[in-house]
Amino acid sequence: MKTDIITPRRRVFIVSSGSVVGQKEKSGPLGDLFDLSGDDRFGKDTWEKSEAEMQRLALGIALRKGEFTAEQMGALFAGDLINQCISSSYGLLDYKIPFLGLFGACSTCAEGLLMASVYASTYYDRCAAVTSSHFCSAERQFRYPLEYGGQRAPTTQWTVTGSGAFVVSSKTDDIQLNRSVFVPEIAGVLPGRMVDRGITDANNMGAAMAPSAADTLMRFFSAHSPDEFDLIVTGDLGREGSGILVDLLGAHGTDISKNHVDCGTMIYSPDAQDVHAGGSGCGCSAVVLSADILENIKSGKLSDILFIGTGALMNPLSVNQGQTIPGIAHLVHIKGSKVKDI
Amino acid sequence: MKTDIITPRRRVFIVSSGSVVGQKEKSGPLGDLFDLSGDDRFGKDTWEKSEAEMQRLALGIALRKGEFTAEQMGALFAGDLINQCISSSYGLLDYKIPFLGLFGACSTCAEGLLMASVYASTYYDRCAAVTSSHFCSAERQFRYPLEYGGQRAPTTQWTVTGSGAFVVSSKTDDIQLNRSVFVPEIAGVLPGRMVDRGITDANNMGAAMAPSAADTLMRFFSAHSPDEFDLIVTGDLGREGSGILVDLLGAHGTDISKNHVDCGTMIYSPDAQDVHAGGSGCGCSAVVLSADILENIKSGKLSDILFIGTGALMNPLSVNQGQTIPGIAHLVHIKGSKVKDI
């Protein structure tokens, strides 16, 4: 099987990151880990503007934590779920960083890190990647106005109100700013292929995305074994999609049941928070990666992980026109490298 | 002024391209140049499916003309104007090429070529870039249902029904397939920055996009002079935006009035076709570049050009919420290189 894994030519590191979340995420099991939380409005008068504001804040935090200025970024990769990705454009406009817009649905965090590592290991020294989602802007975009109070199916996921930003750098000087023993290094990336297994239920994104995650992982595992990794972290398959992924890989003789976790099942409490199949949205994997996974790599608790962002490539019109929902999954291989050895 | 122009490390060439257009484009001054034209429906029962079908056809033509298979493409970069970029995902699904979704509004053709040249000059040998727009899907997405028959403002542009696909390769073997004296070589690319000059009129995209084109060109001209180029081709500023761009640069002492052309003013006849300020949409610059500009480079009629894709980063909701419309413009420097010298 052809893998096409990209191994960065120059070593690249996630030298800084920032996470911003709303109230429900703050109340969840990872609540204390996020850099900033707000009242979901973030001082704005529309949900779309609130989401854009979260992106602005998240990138600001990532830059500040790494002691960077916007001018030091060669390029900025960003995208979101809202029509024509306006959260990214309005949110990041004022930074004046050369901007390459992405659309990868909920896989955007992984796609952005993939892009940033490709550019920062070749033509630029440093790049930033940002993404977001907002429950209130996504609900009215993809489902119903909040006021409608539509009932949610058991397989439905709850769109995370959150934004994550990352600075990827190949400058070894930048690593010293990392006041930790280990620095997260991007050891490889693998762009996913679109996979469509005929799912038409827009309330079951986990099932639509799991086959693409399986496809990307099978391509990656043609050169690696699942046992090499402390964790295999999928973006936001939720409970439904996670089970399907483990089963799909199991049917190919690949067992990830022992080290697989999913950002969508980590961010909310299944008992205390009424979120059905778990969290979703571009912001979900971005804030969990930034606040939880990367911090565990920096402390040495985790040393080698796979991060697979998963996205469902549909819009409400395509679902109404009876189209099936293809999924996509991009992979980022991150390991903890000892700062003093770099 | 910081330019950040990317000069490919390995020489990269646009070794093949394909263009598909609708009826109005076929009837325009460039009509005979396009690879394929159809009746705007392209055999599908919704406009969105028709647009996706154009992408499928355009990439098929580009692959066939270059005698490539889909498996030979390292990655595929694509995006479009429709919500959540569904024309790209449904249109390109069956090729099973690793897929990196873009959103750059009408700048997507340039963004895709920029991406393809970065990846094909570093980690992959060959990449493809595809984009599209469709008058009928865009009208109901951004303005009114076709049946409404809304009146069009004089500054309004007509969304091109068309799709362009490109294969970018760093393999010198691929160039021999080019049965021409010259091959279009991507000599440099420059990602644009978002620029917002306070335009709120969604019927005047040219004015919203011109300042970003001026910004990108001024950054590029800090290392080059406009006189170096046979043509400076902007994506789809139309008549209104083209005038503004020439004026903006003129105010900075940079004269592009003699060698500037715009794809939006080239594709339709201003007298015989009722298109007001000209053509627009992701497909506009893609089909004009593929069918006209690149062919003139291959024949030696043009030897050194700048291609600047321009996009307006808005959606109908952001306009209704009173937001201004930022623009973005990515630059691709293309020159004709003698095949026998490579």
Q: Which chain B residue's Cα is nearest to A323? A: B90
Alpha-carbon distance of A326 to A102, in angstroms, equals: 17
Q: State whether A318 and B48 contact (CB < 8 Å).
A: yes
Task: Specify which residues A77 forms β-bridges with.
Answer: A100, A129
- Per the structure block, which two tokens stand in for A92? 């990041």
Residue identified by tokens 């068309």 is: B162
- pLDDT, residue A177, reads 65
- Per the structure block, which two tokens stand in for B260? 């500037």
**Amino acid making up residue A296:** N
Provide DSSP, B90-137: HHHGGG---EEEB--GGGHHHHHHHHHHHHHTTT-SEEEEEEEE-HHH
Q: State whether A328 and B119 contact (CB < 8 Å).
A: no
Model confidence at A1: pLDDT above 70: no
Average pLDDT over residues B128-141: 96
Using pLDDT thresholds of 50, 70 and 90, give the confidence band for residue B2. low
Q: Which chain B residue's Cα is nearest to A189? A: B123
The CA-based angle B52-B56-B61, given to 5 degrees, is: 145
Q: State whether A96 and B193 contact (CB < 8 Å).
A: yes
Q: Which residues on chain B are in Cβ contact (under 8 Å) with A93?
A: 194, 196, 326
B226-252 pLDDT per residue, tens: 999 999 999 999 999 999 999 999 999
Which of A318, A319, A330 is best to mutate for the B interface (most B CBs within 10 A)?
A: A318
Cβ-based neighbours of B6, under 8 Å, separated by 6 or more = A123, B114, B117, B118, B188, B189, B190, B191
Residue from the list A101, A196, A314 with its beta carbon closest to the beta carbon of B103: A101
Strands (DSSP E) found in A161-277: 162-169, 182-190, 231-234, 260-262
- pLDDT, residue B96, reads 98
What does chain A come to in residues?
A: 342
Alpha-carbon distance of A109 to A77, in angstroms, equals: 9
DSSP state of A233: E
Q: Is this prediction's ipTM beyond 0.90?
A: yes
- Per the structure block, which two tokens stand in for B286? 């893609």
Model confidence at B1: pLDDT above 60: no
Quote the percentage of chain B above a pLDDT of 90: 93
Q: Which chain B residue's Cα is nearest to A80? A: B84
Residue from the list A9, A118, A124 with its beta carbon closest to the beta carbon of B119: A118
**Structural element, H or E, at residue A129:** strand A126-133
Average pLDDT over residues B136-154: 91
Residue from the list A86, A97, A111 with its beta carbon closest to the beta carbon of B100: A111
Q: Which long-range contacts (CB under 8 A, 24 or more apart) does A266-274 make?
A: A266/A29, A266/A30, A266/A292, A267/A25, A267/A28, A267/A29, A267/A30, A267/A160, A268/A24, A268/A25, A268/A28, A268/A29, A268/A158, A269/A28, A269/A29, A270/A239, A273/A24, A273/A27, A273/A28
**Structural element, H or E, at residue A240:** helix A238-251
Helix (H, G, I), strand (E, B) or coil at B333: strand
Mean pLDDT of all residues belonging to chain A: 96
- pLDDT, residue B341, reads 87
Q: Is the dihedral of CA B15, B80, B307, B297 positive or negative?
A: positive
Q: State whether A193 and B97 contact (CB < 8 Å).
A: yes
- pLDDT, residue A149, reads 87
Nearest to A137 by CA among A260, A3, A45: A45
A92-133 pLDDT per residue, tens: 999 999 999 999 999 999 999 999 999 999 999 999 999 999
Model confidence at A209: pLDDT above 70: yes
Mean pLDDT of all residues belonging to chain B: 96
Alpha-carbon distance of B284 to B60, in angstroms, equals: 19
Q: State whether A98 and B191 contact (CB < 8 Å).
A: yes
Q: Is the dihedral of CA B192, B262, A103, B95 positive or negative?
A: negative
Which of A89, A170, A332 is best to mutate for the B interface (most B CBs within 10 A)?
A: A89
- Helices (DSSP H) in B132-188: which residue ranges? 135-142, 172-176
Residue from the list B48, B96, B103 with its beta carbon closest to the beta carbon of A321: B48
- Provide the 10 A C-beta neighbour count for residue A11: 18
DSSP state of B290: I
Using pLDDT thresholds of 50, 70 and 90, give the confidence band for residue B49. very high
Using pLDDT thresholds of 50, 70 and 90, give the confidence band for residue A21. very high
Q: Which chain A residue's Cα is nearest to B126? A: A4
Using pLDDT thresholds of 50, 70 and 90, give the confidence band for residue A35. very high
Cβ-based neighbours of A274, under 8 Å, separated by 6 or more = none
- pLDDT, residue B267, reads 98
Alpha-carbon distance of B195 to B214, in angstroms, equals: 10
B260-274 pLDDT per residue, tens: 999 999 999 999 998
Q: Which residues on chain A are in Cβ contact (under 8 Å) with B321?
A: 46, 48-49
- pLDDT, residue A341, reads 87
Q: Which chain B residue's Cα is nearest to A44? A: B321
**Amino acid making up residue A220:** F
Residue identified by tokens 């440099």 is: B188
Task: Specify which residues A184 forms β-bridges with.
Answer: A336
Within its chain, how far is the Cα of B160 from the centroid? Answer: 11
What does chain B come to in residues?
A: 342
Q: Which chain B residue's Cα is nearest to A45? A: B321
**Amino acid making up residue B188:** G
- Provide the 10 A C-beta neighbour count for residue A203: 17
Pairing of β A75-80 and β A12-21: unpaired
Average pLDDT over residues B166-195: 92
B51-88 pLDDT per residue, tens: 999 999 999 999 999 999 999 999 999 999 999 999 99
Q: State whether A86 and B122 contact (CB < 8 Å).
A: no
Model confidence at B178: pLDDT above 80: no
Average pLDDT over residues B183-194: 98
Cβ-based neighbours of A332, under 8 Å, separated by 6 or more = A110, A113, A114, A117, A186, A188, A189, A306, A307, A308, A309
Q: State whether B318 and A86 contact (CB < 8 Å).
A: yes
Model confidence at A178: pLDDT above 70: no
Using pLDDT thresholds of 50, 70 and 90, give the confidence band for residue B177. low
Q: State whether B86 and A318 contact (CB < 8 Å).
A: yes
Within its chain, how far is the Cα of B194 from the centroid? Answer: 17
DSSP state of B30: T
Closest CA–CA distance from residue A282 to any residue of chain B (Å) = 13
Q: State whether B321 and A194 contact (CB < 8 Å).
A: no
